[in-house]
């Protein structure tokens, strides 16, 4: 861990008050030590002039299946997490939850162990793990292998919530698990999302009462909103307390539907995710999933059955799309990529904001929202 102290100057800094020029961000070690007028810095302070760039909190992606040509399911190792993190850092992601889609118990055990070790070793960006399944609905499986689906017994519940040095997010179908099981997972510290679910509105409401607090890739792989059956989407849009992740690639969901979600939900309850697969940050558009070769074409990833199989989206593009397709302001789009996901997984006091005492996870962008530089734990 570096003990160096330096200041980032000549940037438009996104704070809770909006974009502010003429602020210096003082970094000490892995944390932000202070924000101050640039002319108040000590004369001997080491500085980096950002040339008028936008300085934003680093992006936090809660759904990252792969990147850099590797898939977490296929190789649940520390080295895989290192490659994924390096690939996504090129697109502004300074924190992420490596995501394991539905798989066998042995793969889940290896993935949790790799995540724990990666955090212990300080692999940049790893904040925990997202278990997307295997507690899902076969009729809303998407690209998941329904043969892997199951209801966890007591031993598996212990395993699924065993990560003790990072955050655990679990996506589940509330109609597939007893309310007592959902409640027990939440009581053991897991953040729970409804997803890949055919649940009725009433079943989702029961899941929310039992401890579910979010929805995985809203609109995708869930029962839709209809006039006489609100479904999972209706429950998500109605609930002011719940959070929703959205894939803003213009493919997974029509931009108009996402604009409806933004109009229905409190703005700070909607965050961006990528659901990224190995092609992100890689030259090869193909990868293997469940023994099938899948190829990204024109930025769209589908399996042989035609189901969307994750995405080729990166967070920087998601932020641009939030501005250009959804019509949100840049500060709001940036918070959807940093502040709100940090709050959702319980890291709102340490990540996702540029303020004294927060982690020095930062990105500098030009006016076209191209990455100029990034810092994770104060390291450039």
User: Is 275 in the active site?
Assistant: yes
Compute the distance between CA of residue 310 and CA of residue 163 in angstroms, rounded to an integer. 25
CA distances from 202 to 194, 231, 236, 257 (A): 13, 8, 12, 22
Q: Which residue has the tokens 């109605």?
A: 238
Sheet holding 59-64, edge to edge: 59-64, 93-101, 128-132, 167-172, 191-194, 214-215, 243-246, 270-272
Query: What count of other Cβ atoms lies within 10 Å of the Cβ of residue 139?
Result: 12
Compute the distance between CA of residue 326 and CA of residue 344 in angstroms, rounded to an integer. 21
* Cis bond before residue 208 (omega within 30° of 0): no
**Which residues carry a binding-site annotation for Zn(2+)?**
132, 196, 217
Triad 346, 313, 317: Cα angle to 5°: 85
149 backbone φψ class: left, alpha, beta (φ>0; ψ -120 to 50): beta
Q: Tell which residue, 17, 93, 49, has the closest CA to residue 331.
A: 17
**Which residues carry a binding-site annotation?**
132, 143, 196, 217, 220-221, 228, 252, 308-310
**Which residues carry a binding-site annotation for substrate?**
143, 220-221, 228, 252, 308-310
For the record, the structure tokens of 191 come out as: 């953040």
The answer to whether the CB of 376 falls within 8 A of the CB of 361 is yes
Which one of 61, 103, 249, 275 is the catalytic residue? 275
Residue 91 sits at φ, ψ, to 5 deg, of -120, 25
CA 217 to chain centre: 10
**Torsion angle defined by CA atoms of residues 283, 288, 294 and 299, in that order, rounded to the nearest 10 degrees:** -40
For helices 179-187 and 201-210, the axis angle rounded to 10 degrees is: 40
Q: Where are the beta strands (DSSP E) in 161-316?
A: 167-172, 191-194, 214-215, 243-246, 270-272, 286-289, 292-297, 300-302
Triad 362, 217, 369: Cα angle to 5°: 35
The residues assigned a catalytic role are 275
């Amino acid at each position: 861990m570096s003990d160096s102290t330096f200041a980032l100057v000549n940037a438009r800094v996104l704070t809770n008050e909006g974009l502010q020029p003429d602020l210096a961000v003082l970094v000490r070690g892995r944390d932000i030590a202070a924000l101050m007028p640039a002319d108040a810095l000590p004369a001997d302070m080491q500085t980096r002039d950002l040339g008028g760039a936008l300085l934003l909190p680093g992006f936090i992606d809660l759904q990252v299946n792969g990147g850099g040509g590797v898939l977490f399911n296929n190789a649940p190792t520390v080295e895989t997490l290192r490659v994924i993190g390096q690939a996504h850092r090129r697109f502004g992601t300074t924190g992420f939850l490596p995501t394991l889609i539905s798989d066998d118990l042995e793969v889940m055990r290896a993935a949790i162990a790799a995540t724990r070790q990666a955090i212990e070793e300080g692999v940049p960006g790893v904040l925990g793990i997202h278990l997307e399944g295997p507690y899902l609905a076969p009729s809303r499986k998407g690209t998941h292998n329904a043969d892997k689906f199951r209801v966890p017994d007591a031993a598996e519940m212990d395993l699924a919530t065993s990560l003790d040095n990072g955050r655990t997010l679990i996506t589940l179908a509330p109609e597939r698990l007893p309310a007592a099981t959902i409640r027990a997972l939440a009581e053991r510290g897991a953040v729970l999302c409804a997803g890949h679910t055919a649940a009725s509105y009433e079943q989702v409401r029961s899941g929310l009462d039992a401890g579910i607090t979010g929805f995985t890739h809203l609109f995708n792989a869930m029962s839709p909103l209809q006039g006489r059956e609100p479904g999972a989407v209706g429950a998500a849009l109605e609930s002011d307390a719940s959070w929703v992740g959205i894939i803003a690639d213009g493919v997974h969901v029509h931009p108009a539907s996402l604009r409806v979600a933004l109009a229905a939900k409190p703005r700070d309850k909607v965050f961006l995710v990528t659901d990224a697969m190995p092609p992100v940050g890689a030259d090869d558009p193909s990868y293997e999933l469940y023994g099938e070769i899948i190829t990204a074409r024109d930025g769209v990833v589908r399996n042989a059955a035609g189901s969307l199989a994750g995405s080729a989206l990166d967070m920087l593009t998601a932020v641009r799309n939030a501005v250009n397709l959804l019509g949100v302001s840049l500060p709001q789009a940036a918070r959807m990529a940093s502040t709100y996901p940090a709050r959702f997984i319980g890291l709102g006091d340490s990540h996702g904001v540029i303020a004294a005492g927060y982690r020095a996870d930062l990105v500098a962008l030009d006016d076209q929202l191209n990455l100029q530089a990034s810092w994770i734990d104060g390291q450039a």
